[in-house]
Amino acid sequence: MNQKLFFTALIVLFVLSGVSHYGHWGTIPEFILSALAILFVAGFLGKATESVAHYAGQRLGGFLNATFGNAAELIIAIFLVRAGEFEMVKASITGSIIGNLLLVLGLSVLLGGLKYKEQTFNVQLAGHNSSLMILAVIALFIPAIFVSAEHFSIDQDRTLSISIAAILIIAYILWLIFSMITHKSILADEEVTTPDHGEEPAWSKTMSIVFLVVATVMTALVSEWLVHTLDSFSERFSLSAIFVGAFLIAIVGNAAEHSAAILLAMKNKIGAAVEIAVGSSLQIALFVAPVLVFVSMLFGETMDLVFTTIELAAIGVAVFIATSISRDGRTNWYEGALLLCVYVILGFAFYLV
Amino acid sequence: MNQKLFFTALIVLFVLSGVSHYGHWGTIPEFILSALAILFVAGFLGKATESVAHYAGQRLGGFLNATFGNAAELIIAIFLVRAGEFEMVKASITGSIIGNLLLVLGLSVLLGGLKYKEQTFNVQLAGHNSSLMILAVIALFIPAIFVSAEHFSIDQDRTLSISIAAILIIAYILWLIFSMITHKSILADEEVTTPDHGEEPAWSKTMSIVFLVVATVMTALVSEWLVHTLDSFSERFSLSAIFVGAFLIAIVGNAAEHSAAILLAMKNKIGAAVEIAVGSSLQIALFVAPVLVFVSMLFGETMDLVFTTIELAAIGVAVFIATSISRDGRTNWYEGALLLCVYVILGFAFYLV
Amino acid sequence: MNQKLFFTALIVLFVLSGVSHYGHWGTIPEFILSALAILFVAGFLGKATESVAHYAGQRLGGFLNATFGNAAELIIAIFLVRAGEFEMVKASITGSIIGNLLLVLGLSVLLGGLKYKEQTFNVQLAGHNSSLMILAVIALFIPAIFVSAEHFSIDQDRTLSISIAAILIIAYILWLIFSMITHKSILADEEVTTPDHGEEPAWSKTMSIVFLVVATVMTALVSEWLVHTLDSFSERFSLSAIFVGAFLIAIVGNAAEHSAAILLAMKNKIGAAVEIAVGSSLQIALFVAPVLVFVSMLFGETMDLVFTTIELAAIGVAVFIATSISRDGRTNWYEGALLLCVYVILGFAFYLV
């Protein structure tokens, strides 16, 4: 999209969303405007992060990109945590994971596969990612299993959730050390096919930092406005908190990844598309989820990591089929269609809850 | 088997079974005769389908073979659906899947492996099949998980089952498009090792069509007679409906695949044997099961796709170990023995229910 | 460790442990001394087994090594069975499996990986082991699923457990036939990288047999002393039977494997380390667990194979991530760290029970 057009839309939607919020225009216009605005501010935040990352040098830049890649989702989730909407937070974490693994990956593989008969990517990286993904699944399953099977008290439940959150953050830091320091070279082959982070950014260093600050503030504001409308919106259309969190919020919050991954797949860079989809899921599970546990402690009430049975089923199912499909390093349109079938099945099931 | 002998046995058993049914000879002779007769009429139906498929040309023929390969099981299941025996239908779907993945595949790999030290087959095809199998497992697990965890009402339950059935049929049609149109050439290597569908059929075109009609009618009749004895038979021997459905009916209904796959494995065509076993399971899960949901609607009461915990456990276990064993494209006798061990364990467990 | 020093420590600790036991020194000294003593007697038993195996010739020796490799654990478990501590027996089986797959394998891969950037091993063997491991998981899951979903009576439960135990022992014997007779040559490549069982043993044939008898008797005695202190020890520190069984006993009983595997990994023989860790888990699940069922029948009360939900979750999780990591035949330090993360998460969770 043309840059001037992008900024015009960004500013118009941001202003309209703010006006609708403070002017109490009502649930539907407020929801639509804040959802549209978040698409653009999240895109802006992503560009600003990339630009700052460029000036920060390769190593720190890689870290910034990896860690703040889901900044918009993190900010939305923090507002949900502050509002005590723990159920919706966990639903949106679930939704981000399955959205990335099924919708983003599914669309990328399907559309890429309609253009190219078979697309291939580095299998070794896929192997690493799948082991990390399994750690994430394990970490999210353990609390639910122990809490339900052993009738944990709230205290035991929170102690376990905090311990697991701490271990996940350690695992995440070790992964950064592994992939950016000790085994950078082994994973480097892949970098050729990743998005061209190397191209000259449009903004100067100072401007990039200013933009990053501005984008963060804008994202925070729009997130607050969006979160504010969610309760009355879901009530209005009799949608369950879990459906809103897992499908609506997750799709809106991940829109930037969606378009980036699909465009890459259609340029035959399926490896980069897979990396975006899987990497984003990993960040949500290994970094965003545990950070939110600690954030909730700052607000006075600890959020646990006990997901509901259907959330865990959805995550397990998504990881299982995405891992199975990406294991061989080849994709075709039918595999994309399969991922989308599973997404639609889950969408129906959550909608009926 | 000599063709003349086959037809003699077919007609004798068919007539005897009919006479025993209408003459009320009693549970045991009626059960034994109809079970024996179904072996032969299912074999006859299989041959007639193949012959018609031959004349229909490669593409339509492939479709016919793929879709009517489990015609006998479908017909038996339709009679069970009409009789309102939904529990036994789902048990027989379960039994067909585990029978194909554990018993048929296990015997093929074991007997093939006793003759040849190591047998190999096309790994890429195995990968595709395993992704499809995972979709099938997901589709069968989701209703049970949502119904039990979210206390779905009967309406929600049926809406979900119908939606999933529709998606599975779409996925099945897309698979036919993928494997017979867009990616025919990629999967073509494998075709060399598949059964010689190409050999000249024994019957003329007209005769084949007549035989297909006759075989379908005979299968329908014998299925009805068999279904009719099941209730009193299982009562007589204190067998649970689930055991009868999952083991007795499934073994009888799949006998044709069993012998075909084992013979191929012993001719060192293990790839074709794997394709029969896995392909047949896939058809049951992705085509027969959802079609039965729609068939049940015609008879006035919707059958849902909510399988019991132990059925899902059996399916999950069978898919898991069959996928693990076939992933590397090599088989040996011990892997066959392992599959059979799992089948025997499940058999014991279902027998005790 | 210097052999003289080893024997001195062995005898001193054995005597002290016995004196503390019969002198009623109190829970803590008795526990600590018997735990230390078991480390040394288990090591002694392992060396004696290896030495006898050397003289027994390749085939019988391989069998002895494979089957008595977990002799110490088996002896401890038999004393627990005799004491009717079925819950702790099953916890210690769980603990041995997860200890081998997560702690032993994790430390080996981590420490080996810190020294060597990437370590590789024979993938084909890993494939075989993973199929066997899946059989083991299935065999341990089936009773729990059927008992809870179908409300099995104690009789049904025991019948099922005995049947499964019998099938597992058959599968184990078939595995010995496969790996030592029919497919010895295929697996032989690997043998080059296994521990140097071939080096000249320090003891003569007669001495080895005498030592094997002495070591077995010592292990039995110390096991009895250790088991005797467990109840009051776990009460004293408010530890659940399941935590004591799954973590304390399992770590103590497996110490010999731990040190052997880690030393091999640090000599870049990661294949042998993986074989020890995975092979030991397999023996526990396929041989020790079913044998204990039959042993319990000798003592008059049949132990079933119904594991608790959290034990099964732990076993499932451990097998899943260990299989995922070892599937590609390459390891690096981060994969070891991941395995240890999962072990620590499980440790926290079991501690809180």
Residues B12-60 have pLDDT tens digits of 999 999 999 999 999 999 999 999 998 888 888 888 888 888 887 766 7
Residue C200 confidence (pLDDT)? 66
Average pLDDT over residues B112-116: 92
CA distance A268 to A259: 14
CB contacts of B353 in chain C (<8 Å) are 146, 150
**pLDDT above 70 for C189:** no
Residue C13 confidence (pLDDT)? 94
Report chain C's mean pLDDT, rounded to a whole number.
86
Does the beta-carbon distance from A310 to B124 stay under 8 Å?
Answer: no
Distance (Å) from the alpha carbon of C171 to chain B's nearest alpha carbon: 7
CB contacts of B324 in chain C (<8 Å) are 130-131, 134
Look up residue A182 and give its DSSP letter: I
Q: What percent of chain B has pLDDT over 70?
A: 93
Domain count for chain C: 1
CA distance A262 to C182: 51
Q: Which of B178 and A65 is assigned the larger pLDDT? A: B178
Per residue in C214-241, pLDDT tens?
Answer: 998 998 899 889 888 888 888 888 888 8
Chain B residues with a Cβ under 8 Å from any Cβ in chain A? 124, 127-128, 130-132, 134-135, 138-139, 141-143, 145-146, 149-150, 152, 156, 159-160, 163-164, 167-168, 170-171, 174-175, 178, 182-183, 186
Rg of the Cα atoms in chain C: 20
Q: Searching chain A, which residue's CA lies closest to the CA of residue C242?
A: A150
How many Cβ contacts (< 8 angstroms) between chains A and B?
A: 79
Are the beta carbons of A164 and A142 closer than 8 angstroms?
yes
Q: Which residues pair with C330 in a beta bridge?
A: C120
Which segments within C174-241 are labelled E, that is strand? none
> pLDDT-based confidence at B305, cuts 50/70/90?
very high
CB contacts of B332 in chain C (<8 Å) are 178, 183
CB contacts of B132 in chain A (<8 Å) are 338
CB contacts of B159 in chain A (<8 Å) are 352
Indicate which of B102, B307, B341 best probes the interface with C, i.e. most C CBs within 10 Å of its own CB.
Answer: B341
CB contacts of C330 in chain A (<8 Å) are 124
CA distance C79 to B331: 41
Half-sphere exposure of B17 (CA within 13 A, CB side): 29
DSSP sequence for A266-302: HTT-HHHHHHHHHHHHHHIIIIIHHHHHHHHHHTTS-
What H or E segment, with its residue span, contains residue C312? helix C309-326
Among positive and negative, which fits the CA dihedral C126, C131, C133, C134? positive
Per residue in C30-48, pLDDT tens?
Answer: 999 999 998 888 888 888 8
Does the beta-carbon distance from C338 to A186 stay under 8 Å?
Answer: no
Does the beta-carbon distance from B149 to A309 stay under 8 Å?
Answer: yes
CA A149 remoteness from chain centre: 30
Q: Among A150, A163, A175, select the one facing C348 at the smallest CB separation.
A: A163
CA distance B236 to B213: 35
> pLDDT-based confidence at B112, cuts 50/70/90?
very high
CB contacts of A114 in chain B (<8 Å) are none
Look up residue A15 and give its DSSP letter: H
Are the beta carbons of C283 and C66 closer than 8 angstroms?
yes
Burial of B82 (0-12, 13-18, 19+ CB in 10 A): middle
DSSP sequence for B273-315: HHHHHHHHHHHIIIIIHHHHHHHHHHTTS-------HHHHHHH
Q: Among A127, A128, A146, select the one facing C310 at the smallest CB separation.
A: A146
Does the beta-carbon distance from B183 to A117 stay under 8 Å?
Answer: yes
Q: Among A128, A135, A149, select the one facing C321 at the smallest CB separation.
A: A135
Does the beta-carbon distance from B142 to A341 stay under 8 Å?
Answer: no
Q: Searching chain A, which residue's CA lies closest to the CA of residue B136?
A: A342
Average pLDDT over residues A283-288: 90
CA distance B140 to B135: 9
Distance (Å) from the alpha carbon of B112 to chain C's nearest alpha carbon: 14
Chain A residues with a Cβ under 8 Å from any Cβ in chain B? 117-118, 308-310, 313, 317, 320-321, 324-325, 327-328, 330, 332-335, 337-338, 341-342, 344-346, 348-349, 352-353
Q: Among C163, C170, C171, select the one facing B348 at the smallest CB separation.
A: C163
Does the beta-carbon distance from B142 to A313 stay under 8 Å?
Answer: yes
Threshold 0.95, pTM exceeds: no
Q: Among B310, B320, B337, select the one facing C145 at the smallest CB separation.
A: B310
Cβ count near A259 (within 10 Å): 15
DSSP sequence for B327-353: TTSEE-HHHHHHHHHHHHHHHHHHHH-
Residue C14 confidence (pLDDT)? 95
Does the beta-carbon distance from B341 to C171 stay under 8 Å?
Answer: yes
Q: Neighbours of C (≥3 Cβ pairs closer than 8 A)?
A: A, B
Q: Among A127, A163, A171, select the one facing C338 at the smallest CB separation.
A: A171
Q: Which residues pair with C119 in a beta bridge?
A: C331
**pLDDT above 60 for B334:** yes
CB contacts of A118 in chain B (<8 Å) are 186
Residue A187 confidence (pLDDT)? 60
Distance separating the N- and C-terminal Cα atoms of chain A? 38
Burial of C116 (0-12, 13-18, 19+ CB in 10 A): middle
Residue A132 confidence (pLDDT)? 84
Residue A186 confidence (pLDDT)? 65
CA distance B80 to B83: 5
Average pLDDT over residues A127-152: 86
Range name among B4-8, B181-185, B319-323 with the lowest pLDDT average: B181-185
Segments in C99-177 forming alpha helices (H) = 105-115, 123-150, 154-177
Does the beta-carbon distance from B150 to A338 stay under 8 Å?
Answer: no
Are the beta carbons of A53 and A61 closer than 8 angstroms?
yes
> pLDDT-based confidence at B292, cuts 50/70/90?
very high
CB contacts of A328 in chain B (<8 Å) are 124, 127
The residue segments making up the domain with residue C106 are 3-352
Q: Neighbours of A (≥3 Cβ pairs closer than 8 A)?
A: B, C
Distance (Å) from the alpha carbon of C291 to chain B's nearest alpha carbon: 17
Q: Neighbours of B (≥3 Cβ pairs closer than 8 A)?
A: A, C
Which segments within chain C are labelled E, that is strand? 119-120, 330-331
Per residue in B217-265, pLDDT tens?
Answer: 998 899 889 888 888 888 888 888 888 888 888 888 777 777 778 888 8
Among positive and negative, which fits the CA dihedral B217, B222, B223, B225? positive
> pLDDT-based confidence at A90, cuts 50/70/90?
very high
The CATH number of whichever domain residue B287 belongs to comes to: 1.20.1420.30
Cβ count near B176 (within 10 Å): 15
Does the beta-carbon distance from B328 to C146 stay under 8 Å?
Answer: no
CA distance B65 to B71: 10
Does the beta-carbon distance from C348 to A149 stay under 8 Å?
Answer: no
* Single-letter code of the amino acid located at A129: N
Distance (Å) from the alpha carbon of A60 to chain C's nearest alpha carbon: 20
Dihedral (C-alpha) A149, A154, A157, A159: value to the nearest 10 degrees?
A: -150
Indicate which of C348, C350, C353 best probes the interface with A, i.e. most A CBs within 10 Å of its own CB.
Answer: C348
ipTM: 0.86
Residue A199 confidence (pLDDT)? 59
Indicate which of B119, B334, B339 best probes the interface with C, i.e. most C CBs within 10 Å of its own CB.
Answer: B334
What H or E segment, with its residue span, contains residue B38? helix B27-55
Give the SS3 label for residue C120.
strand
